[in-house]
Amino acid sequence: MSKERFTDWARIKPENYRPKVENGVIVEIGPGIVNAPKISETLLRRIKYGAVYIGIDYFADELHRDSFDVGELVVGDLIDLPISSGLVEQIWMMNVFSDGDHKRRSVQYTDSQLYEHFFNELARVLKTDGTVIICDYYGDTVPIGWLRTKDYSRFGFKMRSYSRGTAYQFIEKHGITPQVSDDDPFFITLTKVR
């Protein structure tokens, strides 16, 4: 898809958007300037071989579009994802929780309500056996340790956490670039089981 492709999904109903999905649909929430295909060789390879890649960001119109050179960039909100139910095979989220921009947008919700809506939305758009990949970093400034201890089963997810020693297994499997692995990341995978 062309770099210039950009859609304001607030005007389009999610049920109307059904891309060709023969090779899978991969969504990244909050792609920013350094999106997941730039740090994961495995993901980039899947896209090159035909997987549909969609970046969803509330601030998409503010992003540097020249850096978004794969797939389609979409304006969307994390509590109302502009994607049809059961369509997505994989969702990537990098620094979404530690960044905090999503909280500024959703001031009408408490943190607990916001995340409740959000994880329900992830479950809605994922296919059964689909996976959410969360990458974030340890740090004193943003308390996100709850991500590794949350009970995701009520949303229909089975959780696996990769941190410090085990993070390198994940990094190797997904061909993650060295600059990410040098920052002491942790990864969480949520697999939709129902």
Residue with tokens 């023969």: 22
The answer to whether 157 touches 194, Cβ cutoff 8 Å, is no
Residue 194's pLDDT is what? 82
Residue 62's pLDDT is what? 60
Token pair recorded at residue 151? 């009970």
Residue 158's pLDDT is what? 96
Q: Across 58-156, where does the E strand assignment appear?
A: 72-75, 88-94, 126-137
Residue 56's pLDDT is what? 85
SS3 190: strand
Ordered structural domains, the chain, with CATH: 6-192 (3.40.50.150)
Judge if pTM exceeds 0.75.
yes
Mean pLDDT per block of 10 residues along the chain (194 residues) reads 40 46 80 71 81 81 60 80 90 77 56 82 94 77 70 93 78 72 74 92
